[in-house]
Amino acid sequence: NHKLPPGSLGWPLIGETLEFVREAREEPMRFIRERMKKHDSRVFKTSILGEPVLVFCGADGNKLLFTNENKLVKIWWPTTLRKLLGSSVINAVGDEAQLMRRLLLTFLRSDALKCYVERMDMVTQEHITAYWEGKEDVRVYPTIKLYTFELACRLFMSMNDPMYVSRLLALFNVITEGVLAFPINIPLTRFNRSMRAASAIRKELQLIIRQRRIALESKLVSSTQDLMSHLLVTPDANGKFLTDLEIIDNILVLLLAGHDTSSSTSTMLMKYLAELPEVYEKVFREQIDIAKSKKVGEMLQWEDVQKMRYSWNVASEVMRLSPTVLGSFREAIVDFEYAGYTIPRGWKIFWNGGSTNKDPSLFPNPDNFDASRFEGAGPKSYSYVPFGGGPRMCVGLDFARLQVLVFLHNMVKRFQWDLLIPDERVGYDPILVPRKGLPIRLRP
C-alpha cells in the first residue's frame, strides 16, 4: 500500500544509469532538473548505479535528511564507493562514525588548522613559482589538481618528494575514473582498474605507516607534525586506537576528497574571474590590501585569511552556480512519510544539494553572479549546502576554505588571465571539471 514517489526505474539492471552519467558529463543538472519538472520537484524515483533510488530535492529535503541522521536515514554509498573507500569515515555509521569524525576533526577543525596557514602559503608559493611563473599558457585544472594533492600530501603525511607525489596522484586519478562505473570487478573494466589502483595506494600507505611508527618510537618526528602521526598516537573518545587499515582508509579518503573538490572549486573560480573582470578587480583589491599589510617575506597567517570575506563570498557564489559535486547518498532505516509519499525502509536516497541553487524563490535572479547573496546572514537555512549538513557535514570544510583562499591570494597578486576556450563546456566526472582542463593565457 506504499505510495511511492513518481518516476521511472528505467531498464532492468542498468535502470537510468546511462542517462544519469551521460547527462552529468554533458549537461550538468539536466537529469535532475528534467525529472523534477516531469515528476515532482520535491522527490522522484529512478534507478542508478545498480540501485532503485529516491532523489530528494529542495531545502525541505535537505532539512529532513540533515536533521534525521540515524533516526530516519543513515549514510549509504553505491557498491563502487563502498569497495573503493573501505573502512573510512565516509562509510562508518552510528557511534563509530561520530567517534571517527571527532578524531579527524581534532586535526581538521579551524582552531587546529591555524598553525598550518604559514606552511600552506609556502607550499602555494613554491607551486606557483614552479608551474605558473614564466608560463604563457597553462591548463588550469590539471595544474591546480597537482597543487591541491601536493598540499594534502604535505599536511597529512609530510610527503615532500615531488616524483612520489606525482606517482601517487596518477593512482588517485585512476580511482576517480571508477567512481561512476558499473561495479563489475573483472579485468579491463574501469572499476577493476580503480580497485587495483586503490590496492596499490593502500600498500604505499602501509609502508609509510611502518616507517612513521619507527620514527615516532625513536622520537625522530613529532606526534603532532601531521595527520598521520595524529592518527597513530591519538585514541578516540573511548580510548580505542584506529587500526592500520582504518588509518590507511581514512587517509586515502582525505587525500582523495582533500584535493579533488578543492581543485574543482579553484578551477571554476578562475573561470568566473576571467569572465567577470569587475569581480576580479574587487577580489584583487581585497587581496592586495592584505599583501601590503605584510612585511617582505612574511607568510600569511590565520588572521589574514579571516579578512578575505569578499573573496570567500565570490567562491561561495561560484559553488552555487557550479556545484562541485552532484550529491551523496542515504538509506531509509524506517518507513516514513515525506511530501505526501511513503519512503520505505531499505530504499536508497540520493541527496542532490544543487537542486536549490537556482530556485528563484531562494535566490532572486538565480542565473546572475552576485556575491552579495552571502553577506550578513547569507542564504536561508538548508538552501545552500555545498558541504552537506548535520552530522555528515564535510569534515574538511575549513581545510578546503583555506586551500581555496590561500591559492587565490597568491594567484591574483601575480596574474590576470584570459580563457583560451571561452565557451568550454563543463561536466561531472564525478566532480565538476572543464572538458578541456580550462586552458588560459596568463598576464603578469
Tell me the CA distances in angstroms from 307 to 280, 304, 369, one per residue in order.
17, 5, 22
- Judged by average pLDDT, the poorest of 78-92, 180-194, 246-260 is 78-92
The residue-averaged pLDDT of 405-432 equals: 96
Q: Is residue 4 part of a domain?
A: no
Looking at this protein, which amino acid is placed at residue 234? T
36-66 pLDDT per residue, tens: 999 999 999 999 988 899 999 999 999 999 9
| Residue-number span of the structural domain to which 261 is assigned | 17-443
Q: Is residue 405 part of a domain?
A: yes
Taking residues 101-105, what's their average pLDDT?
A: 87
Exposure letters 363-397 (e unless 16+ CB within 10 A, then b): beebeebbbebbeeeebeebbbbbbbbeebebbbe
Asked if residues 360 and 334 have their Cβ atoms less than 8 Å apart, the reply is no
Strands 348-351 and 432-434: unpaired
Neighbours of 218 (CB within 10 A): 8
CATH classification at residue 413: 1.10.630.10
- Cell numbers placing 329: 547518498
Closest CA to 319 of 253, 256, 272, 260: 272
pLDDT tens sequence across 321-365: 999 998 999 999 999 999 999 999 999 999 988 999 999 999 999
Q: CA torsion angle for 95, 352, 180, 208 (degrees, to 10)?
A: -40
Longest CA pairwise span in the chain (Å): 72
The pLDDT > 90 percentage for the chain reads 77
- Residue 151 pLDDT > 60: yes
Q: For residue 87, tell me if it sits in a domain.
A: yes
How does DSSP assign 132-182, residue by residue?
TTT-SEEEHHHHHHHHHHHHHHHHHH----HHHHHHHHHHHHHHHHTTTS-
Helix pair 94-108, 244-275: axis angle to 10 deg: 60
Residue with cell 619507527: 214
Contact call for residues 357 and 323 (beta carbons, < 8 A): yes
Q: What pLDDT, in 10s, does the model give residues 79-96?
A: 888 888 887 877 777 778
Where residue 310 falls among pLDDT bands split at 50, 70, 90? very high
User: What pLDDT is stored for residue 1 in this prediction?
Assistant: 57
**CA dist 289 → 203, 292, 307, 372, 406 (Å):** 46, 5, 10, 20, 14
Query: Distances from the Cα of 189 to the Cαs of 178, 184, 196, 440, in angstroms?
Result: 9, 7, 11, 34
Answer for the pair 15, 348: CB distance below 8 angstroms, yes or no.
no
Question: According to DSSP H, which parts of 3-93 are helical?
Answer: 17-26, 30-38, 59-67, 79-85
Query: Which residue is it, cell 515528476?
Result: 39
Measured between alpha carbons, how far is 330 from 281 in angstroms, rounded to an integer? 42
Q: Provide the domain count of the chain.
A: 1
Mean pLDDT, to the nearest integer, of 204-208? 96
For residue 236, what is the DSSP state?
Answer: -
SS3 state of residue 348: strand
Q: How confident is the model at residue 127 (pLDDT cuts 50, 70, 90)?
A: very high
8 assigned to some structural domain: no
Q: Bridge partners of 73?
A: 69, 332
In a domain, 9, yes or no: no
Residues 6+ apart with CB under 8 A from 266: 144, 148, 403, 404, 407, 408
Angle between the N-to-C axes of helices 309-321 and 397-414, in degrees from 0 to 180, rounded to the nearest 10: 110
pLDDT at 89: 76
> Residue 26: which pLDDT band, with cuts at 50, 70 and 90?
confident
Enumerate the known binding-site residues. 394
Residues of the binding site for heme: 394
82 versus 8: the higher-pLDDT residue is 8
